Amino acid sequence: MSAENEKFPKQHIVGFLGSLVLTLAAAWAAVGSGLPTIWIIVSIMVMAVVQAFIQLFMFMHLTEKNGSIQVGNMLHAFFIAAVIIAGSVWTMSFGFSHNHSDDGGGGEEMQMEEQEHNH
Amino acid sequence: MSGHSELTTGPLEYRSHEDRMTVLGFWLFLGAEIALFATLFATYAVLFGRTADAPAPQELFEMPMALTMTFLLLTSSFTCGIAIHEMRRGSLKGLLTWLIITLALGLGFLGFEIYEFVHYAHEGATLQSSAYWSSFFVLTGTHGAHVTLGICWAVLLIIQLKKRGLNQMTARKTFVLGLYWHFLDVIWIFLFTSVYLIGMVV
C-alpha cells in the first residue's frame, strides 16, 4: 500500500521500459535477425506473452484485493484462447499449405491431390 | 481479505464491497473479451495466406507504421497507469492531466489506424477482396472499435470527474476504465506480433 503513495511510479516506468525493449527486440527478430522462420515466430510470441504479463501485473494491479480469483480467471482465459487458436489451426490447416501466388484459386484441389499421392 | 465490510483506508476504489465486486466483475468481463478475440485470431490464422487476387500482406505491411501505432498505444497504456497512480495519491489534477494525455495518444493511434485502412483500400485490400483481408479487417477493426469505445468512455468520465471530483464512485469508475485501456494494449501486443510481424516474415 505504501508504494502507491510514492511520488515516483517506479513499477510503471520499469514496466514501460521493459515493454519498449521487448517491442523493439521483437521487431528486430522479425526483420533483422535472419533466424529460421519457426524460431522467429516462437521468440516473438514468447516476447508478446512476457509483455502481456507486464501489463497485467505491473500496470493493471492484477493481484490486488480479489487477486487469486482474478489471476485464476486470467489463466483460464489464456487457456481458452490457446485451445481456440491452436485447435482451429490444428483442425483446419495442419499439414496443409497453399501456394496462392502461383496458381490463383485452383491451388487447393491440386495440393489435396498431391497430399493423397504422398500417402 | 475481500469481506463485506466498508474499509476506511486503502485505495478509494476498493472501499466498499460493491466496488470490490465491480472491479472483480470487470476482470471476468475481460476474460470473456479474451475469448472473443481468440476466435477472431483463430479465424485470421486459419485464413492466413488466402489472399486470392488481392495484394499479399508482405506487400502492404510496413514496419515504421506498425511500430508507430504500437508505441502510441503502449505509451498511452503507460500514461493511463500513471493516471491511476496519481488518483491513488489523491491528485485530481494529476489524474485529469494524465487521462487527457492518454486520450490524445489513443486518438493518435486511431488516426493512424484509419489512415492505414484507407491506404490498404486504395491498394486493393478491402473487407470484400479475399478471405484473408476479411479476417484481417474484422480482427483489427474489432480492436479499433474497442479503442473508439474506450475514447468515448474516457471523455464521459473526464466530464464526470470535473463535475463531481474524486470520490469512491468516480475512483472506482476510473479504475475500471484503466483496466479496459490496459487491456486494449494487451490485445494490440498480440495483433502487432501475430498479424504485423508474422505477416512481414512469412
Q: What is the pLDDT of residue A6?
A: 67
Using a CB–CB cutoff of 8 Å, tell me whether B164 touches chain A. Answer: no
Residues of chain A above pLDDT 90, percent: 52
- For residue B111, give Cα distances in angstroms to B39, B69, B108, B178: 26, 9, 5, 21
A30·B197 Cβ contact <8 A: yes
Mean pLDDT across the stretch B108-119? 96
Specify the fold of B12-48+60-201: Four Helix Bundle (Hemerythrin (Met), subunit A) (1.20.120)
Closest-CA residue of B relative to A79 is: B35
Question: pLDDT category, B11, cuts 50, 70, 90?
Answer: confident
Question: pLDDT category, B12, cuts 50, 70, 90?
Answer: confident
Question: pLDDT category, A113, cuts 50, 70, 90?
Answer: very low
Using a CB–CB cutoff of 8 Å, tell me whether A43 touches chain B. Answer: no
Q: What is the pLDDT of residues A64-87, one digit of tens each?
A: 888 889 999 999 999 999 999 999
pLDDT for A103 beyond 90: no
Q: Which of A27-36, B6-15, B39-48, B141-150 has the weakest average pLDDT? A: B6-15
Q: What is the pLDDT of residue B6?
A: 79
pLDDT for B195 beyond 50: yes
ipTM of the complex, rounded to two decimals: 0.88
Can you tell me the distance from the alpha carbon of A63 to that of A71, in angstroms, rounded to the nearest whole number?
7
Question: pLDDT category, B8, cuts 50, 70, 90?
Answer: confident
Mean pLDDT across the stretch B39-51? 94
Mean pLDDT across the stretch A20-43? 93
B201·A52 Cβ contact <8 A: no
Closest-CA residue of B relative to A88 is: B42
- Intra-chain end-to-end CA distance of chain B, in Å: 49
Long-range Cβ pairs for the range B176-180 (8 Å, 24+):
B176/B22, B176/B23, B176/B26, B177/B150, B177/B153, B178/A60, B178/B80, B178/B81, B178/B83, B178/B84, B179/A60, B179/B23, B179/B26, B179/B27, B179/B30, B180/B26, B180/B30, B180/B150, B180/B153
Contacts of A102 in chain B (CB under 8 A): none
Q: What is the pLDDT of residue A34?
A: 87
Q: What is the pLDDT of residue A98?
A: 58
pLDDT for B45 beyond 50: yes
Q: Are B34 and A70 in contact (CB under 8 A)?
A: no
pLDDT for B141 beyond 70: yes
User: Residues A72, A78, A84, A88: is their CA dihedral positive or negative?
Assistant: negative
Cell numbers standing for residue B173: 469508475
Mean pLDDT across the stretch B69-75? 96
Mean pLDDT across the stretch B138-155? 97
**B14 Cβ contact partners less than 8 Å away, ≥ 6 residues apart:** A64, A65, B7, B20, B23
CA distance A28 to chain B (A): 10
Contacts of A48 in chain B (CB under 8 A): 189-190, 192-194
Domain boundaries along the sequence of chain A? 1-61, 65-119
Q: What are the b/e assignments for A35-49, b being 16+ CB within 10 Å?
A: eeeeebbebbbebbe
CA distance A74 to chain B (A): 6
Mean pLDDT across the stretch B141-168? 96
CA max distance for chain A: 69
Domain boundaries along the sequence of chain B? 12-48+60-201
pLDDT for B167 beyond 50: yes
